[in-house]
Structure 1
Amino acid sequence: MSRAGDVALSVLTALPLGICALTAGGMLVAGDERILAMELALPVGVLVAGSLVSAIPLSILVWRRRRAAAGHARQRATAAAAQSAADRERANHQRFLARLDHELKNPLTAIRATVATANPPAGASGAAGAAVRDTAWDTVDAQAQKLSGLVRDLRKLSELETRPLEREPVSLEEMLAEAIEALGHQDPAARARTVLSVTRVPWSVPPLQLDLDLMSLAIDNLLGNAAKYSVQGPIEVRLREQDGWAIVEIADAGRGIPAAELSSVFDELARARNARDVAGSGIGLTLVATVVRRHGGDVSVRSVEGSGTVATLRLPVRERA
């Protein structure tokens, strides 16, 4: 509401009452005590009429000021929420940078230490010296590949955030079956432990409009995690429809995730303390969450350390606007 509008309403509120008050006062001074038929003294009637006329702009003024106050309160609440979101984003970014520093520091330290000790000790024979150099360069190559893989995964995650989705009708049941078969080419033992369970009664999951490549990438990551972190015991892949959502569960009987670290499993580069011995960049679950979110769904993880993990994907049966 503008300041000029407030002034105008204030004048409109006060003016009728002021004019009527002056008129009534003049009547009283002049001794005009004529009585209305309703037996209301004319000066009083004029005063009441002025009050009633003034009440109209007064009520408008009060309403506008209340509306302005409510608008200011909403603006303050919105600003507070935005600041809170910015603070959370800043904290997440700082955690990401700390993890990135850790992930880069280890291979770089290993490379520098290896280069420093690459020269064979004094008096070593030619064959022994060559063996030392070969071992050193193998270490350098392995660490360089680790760095390259980390950069590749980060680039892939960045591309997933922006690339257009190429949707097409996809049978989730067929996709899951193909993902399990693909797992068999990489880890036959894990494939032998994996079973697919599909609920078709009273109805099955219809084809969904999905980006086949991206969703396959997400499923492959979850299956790969189940295989990596469970060296024995079954891996169950389950598919069903529930309340307009396609539900995919991938469960294993592996090492599980510590309870204190469950809240951060989808953060970039996050790795549980009991997973350090398994190769990985910590990007996989972030990638899965990005793909599923871009399809209008969500993903969650339930886990008990020492017992196993269940990753649950929910995808809308019908594409949401």
Structure 2
Amino acid sequence: MSRRTAALVIALPVSLAVLAALVLFVAGERRALTVSTALPLVVVYVGVALTVVAAVIVALTARRGKARAALDLARDEGYRAGRDDERDAHRRFLARLDHELKNPITAIRATLAGVDPAAAPAHVEVIDAQARRLAALVGDLRKLSEIETRPLETEPVDLEALARDAVHAIEQQRPEARGRISVIAERVPWSVPVLPGDPDLLALALDNVLANAVKFSASGPIEVRLREDGGGAVIEVADTGRGVPADAQGLVFDDLARAANARDVPGSGIGLSLVRTILHRHGGGVDLRSREGAGTIVTLRVPTA
């Protein structure tokens, strides 16, 4: 029943009663009707009337609540569908970009292999460096696309052991970082728990954050701090490097985003986007706090499930 029909049904008896009363009044009808009813029955009648009114109000409220819940559910499903479509479109974009860039880069590097560097050494060196940079970018884009779609291979992960392995690996790759990185794991009142996760992906996320800390802090200490957090775990990587400008801190997790003061350091701008994807796939998250000229803290949150 529509609202208009319901209003007519409710208003019709009242309108007819008012019309009949006017007719009787104009006709000079002045007789009175007296009805004697015992007081207990009056109380009963009033109680019944109030019960009917309350039942109608409850029924209308429940119906309105159901309609609102159905509308909210439809909006939520539409939002989730929109997010899924957005992620699918993003993956298709990365796959197309990978395909479009891979063949030209391969052709450039193959051509350079046949060029005599003695003929134009400076030009050949610049072209080769840019070709290698593009190849690394394509590789990072492919890696990001794969991480968004590959199934998680979950197993118990000892985050402290994973952090120490990551520090050892970065010190092997970058000798200038040796002796500057420390791992601090809280044990009081309780230790960092062993959590379910994909150890390869979590290691990749931590590797990327550590690599950034080393790249953007030529000297000074770097701390990897672990603590328990409501049954989950928090990993903080803190450095004393150049920091991130305030206007860029909300953008550094976007694909290909780089702060203005980071353009002189080689990189693709994919690393932190990759970190965010890995943590989100684990149900966690990542955020960054930084002061330009003072340092940066990147916080990884890994939940219990």
Once the 2 structures are TM-superposed, how far is the Cα of residue 67 of structure 1 from its aligned partner? 4.0
The 3-state SS of whatever aligns with 1:232 is coil
Q: Deviations over 1:234-254 (max 9, x none)?
A: 111111112333111111111
Residue range with higher mean Cα deviation, 306-315 or 134-143: 134-143
Equivalent of residue 300 in structure 1, options 281, 284, 287: 287
1:218 to 189, 205, 212: 205
- The CA distance in 2 between the partners of 1:240 and 1:283, in whole Å, is 27
Identity of aligned residues (%): 47
Secondary structure (helix, strand or coil) at the match of 2:258 reads coil
**Correspondence 1:221-232 to 2 at 5 A:** 221-232=208-219
Name the counterpart of 2:241: 254
Unaligned runs of 5+ in 1: 40-48, 120-128
Partner in structure 2 of residue 36 of structure 1:
35
Residue in structure 1 matched with residue 182 of structure 2 by the alignment: 195
The alignment status of 1:182 with 2:175, answered yes or no, reads: no
Distance 1:18 1:255, change over 3 A: closer
Shift, 1:164, TM fit = 1.6
Structure 1, 212-221 or 245-254: larger mean CA deviation: 245-254
> Is the 8 Å Cα contact of residues 180 and 221 (structure 2) preserved in structure 1?
yes
Give the distance between the partners of 1:25 and 1:191, measured in 2 at CA. Answer: 101
AA aligned to 2:219 is Q
The separation in 2 between residues aligned to 1:278 and 1:11, in whole angstroms, is: 75
Q: TM-score, normalised by structure 2?
A: 0.72
Residues 30-62 of structure 1: CA deviation (Å, up to 9, x unaligned): 6653322269xxxxxxxxx9xx89x959x66x9
1:234 aligns with 221
For 1:14 and 1:253, how far apart are their aligned partners in 2?
Answer: 76
1:148 aligns with 2:145: no
The 1:201/1:12 distance shift into structure 2, 3 A limit, reads same
Name the TM-score, length of structure 1 as normaliser. Answer: 0.69
**Range 27-36 or range 180-189, more displaced:** 27-36
Residue in structure 2 matched with residue 16 of structure 1 by the alignment = 13
Report if the CA contact (8 A) 1:27-1:33 is conserved.
no
Q: Which residue of 1 aligns with 2:262?
A: 275
Q: CA deviation at 1:63?
A: 4.8
Would you say how many aligned residue pairs link Structure 1 and Structure 2?
Answer: 270
AA of the residue aligned to 1:13: I
Residues in 1 aligned to 2:240 and 2:14: alpha-carbon distance in whole angstroms:
83
